[in-house]
Amino acid sequence: MFFHAYSILWMGGVIVSGKYTITEWQSTIYEQYIAFRKRASSCAPSTERTIRAAIFSFFSYMNANGIDALSDVRAEHLHDWHISSEHSSSRARNLYTSQLRIFFEYLSEKGLVPISLPLALSCQHAPNETVVKVLSRGQIETIETYARHAKSPMQLRDSAMLMLGLKMGMRGADIYGLKFSDISWRKQAISFIQQKTGVYIELPMPVVVGNSIYRYITEGRPASTADTVFVNHVSPDNSLRGSTSVRNAIQRIFRDDAERDFTGFHITRRTFASQMLCSGSTVPLIAAALGHARAESVAPYLSTDDENLRRCAIGCCGIEYAGRYGL
């Protein structure tokens, strides 16, 4: 029996959407594996989506090429699937490939495929360095001004969300899932388990953030039984289910900004890290504030500290080059 995932379907407890065609036994294998991943370690929704897409992509490849069982999969099949990937960038292609490799390692431990088969999938990709984009001083002032003058319920919600991202570096997923029990007004702190990493973190809550949250709760939040701070403003009033709300919060403010070169909410977190670095905070302190396990993850933000980078520049005094004719 085949399932065509061109529209949203309920498949044995998993909601699937996209363009993949899988069989009933493949759906069962996937359900068992994703349950294993969730038991073994934290698995953020974004990670689960990547895992699902990678596995369903390969299952669809199997079905399109007449491969009826996992025992029939060969190294050349994995290689062919990898090079025929629909992703244009090597980084995206290898992200999916690494997830499929972990899946096949799981299958090999279960005795469903040869133990050496996962080695056919490379988990390496060429280094990819990008310049970190942060909000300009003018854009930060725009957000702060918007927050000070917010009046409508939606404006108050947007302001509180943006302050959490800009002044505390919280991820969008942790913001829309923030609970009343996560906030300690007495300690002026917010503590929660990060949705992406599953790691507990406690952050000091700046006064401007506390004020924004308080204003939203007392002046803008509709009556709701939800235990989350931020809720929908249309019926039914309940907890927000996705990151669209936080992404829309920043897009509403900069809708008419012709110089805007970003679309996602995550730029507030990058700006927070950059501001800490420019103010002289140590790398371990920044990593702790971001909830990162490794200090190396802060390295990309070094490129945003223009003032201190200028101090590293080497002058040309003493190494002047004199060419022919005195040039």
CATH of the domain at 82: 1.10.150.130
Domain total in the chain: 2
Can you give the pTM of this predicted structure? Answer: 0.66
Mean pLDDT by 10 residues, the chain (327 residues): 45 50 90 90 79 92 92 93 75 83 94 92 64 86 94 95 95 93 96 88 96 96 91 80 85 79 84 86 84 73 65 64 60
Q: In terms of domains, do 94 and 197 share one?
A: no
Residue 8 lies in a domain: yes
Pair (113, 141) in one structural domain: no
Q: Are residues 23 and 87 in the same domain?
A: yes
Shared domain for 107 and 142, answered yes or no, is no
Any domain includes 318:
no
Res 307: pLDDT: 66
Range of 153's domain?
137-310
pLDDT for the residue 69: 93
**326 found inside a domain:** no
Question: How high is the pLDDT of residue 242?
Answer: 76
Query: For position 75, what pLDDT does the model report?
Result: 94
Other CB atoms within 10 A of residue 289 CB? 18
Residue 275 lies in a domain: yes
Q: Return the pLDDT at 5.
A: 46
8 with 103, same domain: the answer is yes
If one counts every other C-beta atom within 10 angstroms of the C-beta of residue 118, the result is: 21
**Are residue 171 and residue 282 in the same domain, yes or no?**
yes
- Amino acid letter, residue 227: D
316 within a domain of the structure (yes/no): no
**Do 203 and 301 sit in the same domain of this protein?**
yes
Amino acid in position 286: I
Residue 95, domain member (yes or no): yes
Residue 96 sits in the same domain as residue 149: no
Identity of residue 184: S
The residues, ordered by sequence, that sit 6+ positions from 3 with a Cβ below 8 Å of its Cβ are: 9, 11, 16, 21, 22, 23, 24, 27
Task: Determine the Cα–Cα distance for residues 14 and 16; give it in Å rounded to an integer.
Answer: 6
Q: Is residue 321 in a domain? A: no
Strand partners, 118: none
In this predicted structure, what is the pLDDT of residue 14? Answer: 39
Residue 205 · residue 135 · CB < 8 Å: no
CATH number at residue 155: 1.10.443.10
